[in-house]
Structure 1
Amino acid sequence: MKKSFMFLMGIVMVLLGSVTAVSAGVENSVYDIAKSNSDFSTLAGAVDANGLAGVLDGEGSFTVFAPTNAAFDAYFGAGIDREATVATTLLYHVVPGKYDAAAVVNSDTLDTVFGPDIDVAIVGGNVVLDGVATVVATNIIGSNGIVHVIDAVLPPPVNALYQSTLGDPSLSIAEVATADGRFTTLLAALDAAGLAGTFAAPGNYTVFAPTDDAFAKLPAGTIEALLADPSGALTDILTYHVVPDSLSINQVANDSNLPTLNGETLPVGSNGQYVTVDGVNIVLFNIRTSNGVIHAIDTVMLP
């Protein structure tokens, strides 16, 4: 996609004007920049913990999209296990080569050290990566690369379920949900609709599972009315919460629409704190099972 020169320059000037005070300089590596600034303490600690300091402190040419501490807090606050996916996530924020603000704006995609590309778009005059993170400061120059600051962590588009510590891959969706204790209303609804056996048998599903608290938010009498019509509205609603494939949160976050068992599609988004489906927050995710994955949501979705 070719972007007009004057438009690109306007975006670049806005980005340059947003640069905050960060320790930088050609004598500092991109690792030094992260290490010396308190806003990047989570990033620097993760780099250290995963043995990447030598890479980002050594010779080379890198562009690092650096999430702030607040961005990491929001990302991990949604229930992800820090040690399980952080190494992959870090590598997805590093692009080989030096891309200043102008080069980023002029790109549609950027290769990453991890492998998959980052999508670049202009949204409302801002540079947005993967539809998730906004670039808030640019062109922090180091001896071996450039750092741009972003306001959200980019989830890499891979299936990282095997890295999750949640759930039990030897148990079915029905068994894991039962053992969890927060999905009793959902399980009762599945049983009433004759779907409980589906999620106890072999298969490959992603279940966006409303918690008991989510069902409790429905208007009085709604659950009873649905249970009275198990083959109609109840089945439609329940199958709207199921995707016929096993998708990790990273894969969900990198899609825009997901097909469901009831034939409708679920729009995927982000509100800066949570990945959302149909505007509903995914509050706990990558709960492994033998026949798919459970992502807990805080509201019942209505097709």
Structure 2
Amino acid sequence: MKNINIKNALLALTLMGTLVSCDTEYKNETPSIAGIAVANPNFSTLEGAAVQGGLVGVLSNSNPNDPSGHYTVFAPTNDAFARLGLVNAGTLGGLQNSFLTNTLLYHVSNGDLLASAIINGGTSASALGVNRRFISRGSDLYINGSKIIQTNVNASNGTVHAINKVMIATGVNIVASAILLKDAKVFKAPELTFLVQAVITSGLAPTLSDANANFTIYAPTDAAFKAAGFATIQDVANASPAVLQQVLLNHAIGGGKFTSEYSGTTATTAGGGTLTYGLFTDGIFTIKSNGITTPANMVIPDIQCSNGIVHVIDKVLLP
């Protein structure tokens, strides 16, 4: 009974924060950050995410952690969420609430960060505690791998910039990040079970867990492993560790890079192989290795881990 009362109290506080905000917005004629999401149909999925993640009250009111009382939010559009298969607020049920809350906090920072202060090579700390970095690519400006498509939307409690991809940070190393996916602590439909087994069987787990390492990893989904001939998890577990190591090293590049930071058409892998990149289009590109006939596509790009960047792909990059 006590837990129910606590939940009801939290719900009441959230609703009160929203109602107070709406009243304030009416008087000031400037909506809060949450109010902007409510009023703009292009942010309806973000609105649903804020409700499910428990942040509506937070983004409706003043920021107690900054003297200005303001936040800056890099706000993913509906199209940005749709790239993850999240086409409306209803599909957010496929995400764990804790992951959703942390993902939203990764898009928030304290104070007002106006477009004039965003420069190539700069960084910004998120409310999650993980830094984001700014990258210029041609005439476009990116935060991590997400293009900033609208800037300086004024809110009563801060500033909003719209972005075209949802930013994801796990806060843990590459192996632990894959395990989070495998154990359904991120997406409720995990897809990296085969990859985790391959990392364990190959003996590469210590290398990919090294806090001092910095890798770009192309992570094949379970479906990709099955298409490559591994019908079951047991097939992966029974495979030669040396063979698996050779295959996995063909998915690793030194230096963690977001998609927006790539230049050139090829890269040398940790195993000495060569990957060929397709054209950079809408924040992603294809990847081809010597051992496959058609390139791999990015399923979820630009996942920031504590020791590198992971891009989930739909094919195994055979050497």
TM class by shorter chain equals: 0.5 to 0.7
Match of 1:56 among 51, 55, 59: 59
Residue 154 of structure 1, CA deviation: 1.3
1:148 maps to 2:164 = no
CA distance in 2, matches of 1:53, 1:124: 36
1:135 and 1:197 map into 2 onto residues whose CA distance is 35
The correspondence of residues 21-60 of structure 1 with structure 2, limited to 5 A, is 27-59=30-62, 60=69
- Runs of 5+ unmatched residues, structure 1: 1-22, 170-175, 181-186, 188-195, 217-229, 245-250, 286-293
- 1:299 equivalent in structure 2: 315
| Structure 2: distance between partners of 1:301 and 1:282 | 12
Aligned match of 1:93: 107
Amino acid at match of 1:74: R
Question: Scaled by the length of structure 2, what TM-score is found?
Answer: 0.55
| Number of aligned positions between the proteins | 231
1:103-132 CA-partner distances (Å, limit 9, x unpaired): 2247711121111221112211111111x1
Q: How does 1:205-220 map to 2 (within 5 A)?
A: 208-209=219-220, 210-213=224-227
How far is 1:133 from its partner? 0.9
Query: 1:153 deviation in Å?
Result: 1.0
Cα drift, residue 37 of structure 1: 1.1
1:281 to 294, 297, 315: 297
Instruction: Answer 1 or 2: higher relative contact order, Cα 8 Å, separation at least 6.
Output: 1
What's 2:132 paired with? Answer: 118
CA deviation after TM superposition for structure 1 residue 168, in Å: 8.3
State percent identity of aligned pairs: 28
Alignment CA distance shift 1:201-1:56 (3 Å):
same
User: Residue in 1 aligned with 2:190?
Assistant: none
Q: 1:163 to 1:237 in 2, by over 3 A?
A: closer
What's the offset of the Cα at 1:147?
0.7
2:122 aligned residue (95, 108, 127):
108
Q: Give the whole-Å Cα distance in 2 for the aligned partners of 1:54 and 1:162.
A: 32
Compute the RMSD of aligned alpha carbons.
Answer: 4.9
Distance in 2 between the 1:162 and 1:51 partners? 26
> For residues 215 and 253 of structure 1, do their structure 2 counterparts lie closer, same or farther at Cα, with a shift above 3 Å needed?
farther
Contact in 2 for aligned 1:135/1:148 (Cα 8 Å): yes
Instruction: Name the counterpart of 1:289.
Output: none
TM-score w.r.t. structure 1 length? Answer: 0.57
